[in-house]
Amino acid sequence: MKKKKLLRGAGLLILCMALLPLTAFAAEEGAEYTPAMYATFWALVPPIVAIVLSLITKEVYSSLFVGILVGGLFYSGFSFEKTLTHIFNDGFVAVLSDSYNVGILIFLVILGAMVSLMNRAGGSAAFGHFAKEKIKTRAGAQLATIALGVLIFIDDYFNCLTVGSVMKPVTDEHKVSRAKLAYLIDATAAPVCIIAPISSWAAAVSGFVEGEDGFSIFIRAIPYNFYAILTIIMMISMVILKVDFGSMKTHEANALKGDLFSTGKNTAVQETVPVNAKGKVIDLLIPIIALIICCVIGMIYTGGFFDGADFVTAFSNSDASVGLALGSICAMILTIIIYLIRRVLNFTECMKCLPDGFKAMVPAILILTFAWTLKAMTDSLGAAVFVADAVQKSAGSFMNFLPAIIFVVACFLAFSTGTSWGTFGILIPIVVNVFMNTNPQLMIISISACMAGAVCGDHCSPISDTTIMASAGAQCDHVNHVATQLPYAVLVAVISFITYLVAGFTQSAWISLPVGTVLLLLTLFVIRNRVQE
């Protein structure tokens, strides 16, 4: 009887709590709603909760959902109904009906299908055998991965999935851990795109510089993009010096013993379909080359190239989501036609690759959907407004320190929200307004600091779409990828911060960049000696 009374009491209490906010919600109808926590530090708490939980629990789906739930509760003032409607209507439904996001999901699915096609046709296996003959060492396999990542500079999503599918057989053969492969993919995605003049990232940054020649400023800012440049130097140096530290060292040691995943089980998607033993390297190269050419054409098409715009203008005005979706579907159709002509696959086998590719991308699609929804919660709480106000208030008093301050703020904002492009959109217009009529050189350095910090935060964040793509490309456990690459990214971030302090006073890349490079190399030598001892 006592249990029944307790259950009834609890049921009534829950019912009252659920109904109580309805009256307040009805009264607010018709008025524009602003949450009490809008544009305060609390706006950054939901992503911080999600990130901390994912690192502690090693489980990303539930951690992201808890972060979304916290954001919904903060927005609604802990109203049950408003929390529910905000999470689903303004969160999941809104992000999955956004045309840009849908384009990215289509691109993901098609790329998964193309990887499945290349595997079934025997192209990936043939490339693995070819690379085994040409690449003799673990260092060679890692350097080849870096080189391919640097060459594919058009877009970070495209980079992550293409480099992963091509280099997995090579790195597996030389017992390079999947965590290390994911790091190499991630570190040659956004960091390379942000210093490549012809990339979707250059187009995005150019669009945020209002009232100025955005493309010209982007070119002048490249030498000051210390995080991107130092990340590439660090990757190459680590491979040549054969130094690993943190949890990555454990993953690499386990890989040498045969465990590429350090999870106790093979977490990769297994290819259970028959593979054509007659496949050749050309069956891998043709789809990859077709993908690159078609995606470039797709992007300049969306930018108006075929309506008379020049190549650079078309790239600056391109829609990466639509361009990549159009390019990838054309490349897939072309690949299927070539495979049918070469008779490496029949039509039925080609069609079976479509659902296989979709299944391979389901984990990445789920994490991306949760991450986009968490960003929607953060946006609705005014995180961007809070950070913008903080930067503008500190601009006047710390002029020479401002590049280093902007780098840290951009790191934190991109890490918390999981988006570097959103960080560009918030901070770059502020930097332009502060420096446009006072110190143009310091404006260039500060814009670079904003870009570098955004890439750094994006690189470190578990909820970043690029980080998620790198995990998917390497078929590595997502939390393992984040935990192993975090010490590497933090090391480069600290040295980049010091370099921006130097740049703020010298205002010269010829002085500051060599200082950062020497500092990074000295640190790696010290770490190698400590690890060996």
360-369, 450-459, 465-474: lowest mean pLDDT where? 360-369
Half-sphere exposure of 5 (CA within 13 A, CB side): 2
Q: Which of 507, 385, 498 is nearest to 446 (CA)?
A: 507
Residue 262 DSSP one-character state: S
Q: Which residues contact 468 (CB under 8 A, 6 or more apart)?
A: 364, 367, 368, 371, 478
Q: What angle do CA 120, 121, 124 make, to 5 degrees?
A: 80
What is the DSSP code string of 65-94? HHHHHHHHHHHHTS-HHHHHHIIIIIIIIH
Name the nearest CA neighbour of 426 among 44, 107, 101, 149.
Answer: 44
Q: Which is it for the CA torsion 408, 411, 413, 415, positive or negative? A: negative
Tens-digit pLDDT profile for residues 263-320: 655 544 444 556 777 778 888 888 888 888 888 898 889 888 888 888 777 876 777 7
User: Nearest to residue 228, comparing CAs of 451, 439, 2?
Assistant: 451
Angle between helices 440-460 and 226-241 (to 10 degrees): 50
- Sequence-distant contacts of 129-133: CB under 8 A, at least 24 apart: 130/281, 131/169, 131/170, 131/173, 132/170, 132/173
d(CA 63, CA 83): 18
Q: Which residue, among 179, 173, 181, has the nearest Cα to 135 in the 3D structure?
A: 173
Domain ranges of the chain: 99-207+248-257+265-270+280-363, 382-532
pTM reported for the whole predicted model: 0.72
SS3 456: helix
Other CB atoms closer than 10 Å to residue 25's CB: what's the count? 17
Name the CA radius of gyration of the chain, rounded. 24
| Whole-number pLDDT of residue 12 | 43
Looking at the chain, the whole-number percentage of residues with pLDDT higher than 70 is 84
Q: Where are the beta strands (DSSP E) in 254-370?
A: none
pLDDT at 23 (0 to 100): 38
- Above 70 in pLDDT, residue 10? no
CA dihedral 62, 66, 71, 76 (to 10 degrees): 120
Q: What does the pLDDT look like over 142-193, one tens digit per residue? A: 998 998 888 877 667 767 877 887 788 888 888 899 999 999 999 988 888 8
Could you tell me which of 113, 56, 92, 167 has the C-alpha nearest to residue 473?
167
* DSSP H or E run through 147: helix 138-151
Q: What would the mean pLDDT of 510-530 be, rounded to a whole number?
A: 92
Does 26 score more than 60 pLDDT? Answer: no
Annotate 312-339 with b (16+ C-beta within 10 A) or e (fewer).
Answer: bbbbbbbbbbbbbbbbbbbbbebbbebb
- For residue 39, pLDDT over 70 is answered with yes
Q: What is the mean pLDDT of residues 191-216?
A: 68
**Is residue 352 over pLDDT 80?**
yes
Under 8 Å between Cβ of 225 and 496 = no
Spatial distance between the Cα atoms of 209 and 120, rounded to a whole number of angstroms: 46
Residue 389: CB atoms within 10 A of its CB come to: 13
At 213-224, the pLDDT tens digits run 566 777 888 899
The dihedral over CA atoms of 342, 288, 203, 92, expressed in degrees to the nearest 10, equals 90
Q: Which residue has the higher pLDDT, 346 or 393?
A: 346
Least confident interval from 12-26, 71-85, 238-252, 319-333: 12-26
490-525: buried (b, 16+ CB within 10 Å) or exposed (e) per residue? ebbbebbbbbbbbbbeebebeebbebbbebbbebbe
3-state helix, strand, coil in the chain (%, to 5): 80, 0, 20
Choose among 458, 457, 436: nearest CA to 447.
436
pLDDT in tens, 55-80: 787 777 888 889 899 999 999 888 88
More confident of the two residues 241 and 204: 241
Tokens of 130: 């070819």
- Rounded-to-integer distance, Cα 481 and Cα 483, Å: 6
Amino acid letter for position 77: G
Predicted confidence (pLDDT) per residue in 379-400, tens digit = 888 877 777 676 666 655 567 7
| pLDDT over 60 (residue 9) | no
Question: How do residues 68-119 score in pLDDT, each as one tens digit?
Answer: 999 999 998 888 888 999 999 988 999 899 887 888 788 878 878 887 888 8
Give the pLDDT of residue 389.
Answer: 72
Asked whether the predicted pLDDT for residue 424 surpasses 80, the reply is no
Confidence tier at 14 by pLDDT (50, 70, 90): very low
Nearest Cα to 432, choosing from 421, 448, 419, 417? 448
Confidence (pLDDT) at 522 = 94
DSSP one-letter code for 264: S
What band does 515 get if pLDDT is binned at 50, 70 and 90?
very high
SS (HEC) of 275-292:
CCCCCCCHHHHHHHHHHH
- What is the distance of C-alpha 291 from the center of its chain? 20
Mean pLDDT, the chain, as a whole number? Answer: 81
Is pLDDT at 363 greater than 80 in this prediction?
A: no
Q: CA 237, CA 17: separation in Å to the nearest integer?
A: 59
Q: Range with the lowest mean pLDDT among 15-29, 191-205, 328-342, 471-485?
A: 15-29
Report the alpha-carbon distance of residue 74 to residue 316 in Å, rounded: 38
Q: Which residue has the higher pLDDT, 50 or 229?
A: 229
Neighbours of 354 (CB within 10 A): 17
2, pLDDT greater than 50: no
- Residue percentage of the chain with pLDDT more than 90: 20
pLDDT for residue 70: 92
With cut-offs at 50, 70 and 90, classify the pLDDT of residue 21. Answer: very low
The amino acid that residue 8 corresponds to is: R
Q: What is the pLDDT confidence band of residue 494, given thresholds at 50, 70 and 90?
A: very high
Position 530 pLDDT exceeds 80: yes
How far is residue 508's CA from residue 504's CA, in Å, rounded to a whole number? 8
Distance CA 5, CA 9 (A): 6
